[in-house]
Amino acid sequence: MRNLLMSAVLVGASLLGSTVFAQEAVEGRHYAVLSSPVPVAQPEKIEVVELFWYGCPHCYQLEATINPWSAALPEDVNFVRVPAMFGGIWNLHGQLFYTLENLKVDETVHNSIFNALHNQGRKLSSLNEITQFVATQGVDKDIFVKTWNSFSVKSQMEKAKKLAMAYQISGVPAVVINGKYRFDIGMAGGLQQTVDVADVLIEKERQAK
C-alpha cells in the first residue's frame, strides 16, 4: 500500500482518499518546518525519527500503524525511535529504552512494555519494578542493571534530550523527517494520515537529493 500511495502522489492519478489527503498536505497545517535543520545520524539516508514515551496512550495507539510501515521502508530511509524525556518517569522509561537497545533485545520486549503499561495496569516506575519485569521477558537482571548504569546509556539519554530540544517538541508522539519537518497525529489528522504525511515528506526529500 505504501508504494502504491507514493506512486499515486507522484503521478497524481489515484482517487484513493489517503492519496488525496497527501496531495493536499500543506506546511503550517499538516506539518511544520523547523527553523534550524537538525543534523541526521546517516546523511546518506532520509531519516525518520519517532519521538515517543512508553506511557503515552497515543504512542501506544500509533504502534499498530507505524510498526508495519517502518518495517517496510526502503533502504534509503533510516527509521529511529527516540524516547522523549521531560523528567521523572519519562526519563526512567527513556533509560529503559536505551538499556534494552544496548542489549539488542527482540522488538517483542518493547511491545510487552507498552502492553504492561496500557493493558495490565503496570507502572514500571522504579528500577526494581523494571528489573523484575524485564526478567520475565528473558533479560538477565545483572546484565540489565550493569547496562542501565553504563556510560553508553547515559550518553544516549543526553543526546536524546538535546534532540528533543532541537526538534522543539512539546508532546508525543511526534515525527521528524530528515531533521527538517515535524508533525504529530493531530496535525496529520489521524493514525494512518501520520504515515501518509511521512511518506509525502520522505519523497520530498528524496526528490531534493
Question: Any idea of the CA torsion for 170, 201, 53, 87, to the nearest 10 degrees?
Answer: -30
Q: How confident is the model at residue 35 (pLDDT cuts 50, 70, 90)?
A: very high
Task: Name the residue with higher pLDDT: 16 or 84.
Answer: 84
Strands 77-83 and 32-33: unpaired
Q: How confident is the model at residue 209 (pLDDT cuts 50, 70, 90)?
A: confident
* Weakest mean pLDDT among 11-15, 92-96, 192-196: 11-15
Q: What percent of the chain has pLDDT over 90?
A: 87
Mean pLDDT of 118-146: 97
The residue among 177, 180, 179 whose CA lies nearest residue 196 is 177
Task: Name the residue with higher pLDDT: 45 or 12.
Answer: 45
Indicate whether 9 pLDDT > 50. no
The residue among 197, 193, 181 whose CA lies nearest residue 47 is 181
Burial of 70 (0-12, 13-18, 19+ CB in 10 A): middle
Superfamily the domain 28-184 falls into: Glutaredoxin (3.40.30.10)
> Where in the chain are the domains?
28-184
Q: How confident is the model at residue 24 (pLDDT cuts 50, 70, 90)?
A: low
pLDDT score of 180? 98
pLDDT in tens, 61-112: 999 999 999 999 999 999 999 999 999 999 999 999 999 999 999 999 999 9
Strands 77-83 and 46-52: parallel
Indicate whether 126 pLDDT > 90. yes
Q: How confident is the model at residue 138 (pLDDT cuts 50, 70, 90)?
A: very high
pLDDT score of 87? 97
pLDDT score of 7? 37
Q: How confident is the model at residue 23 (pLDDT cuts 50, 70, 90)?
A: low
d(CA 82, CA 13): 36
Q: How confident is the model at residue 18 (pLDDT cuts 50, 70, 90)?
A: very low
The residue among 135, 137, 117, 115 whose CA lies nearest residue 125 is 117
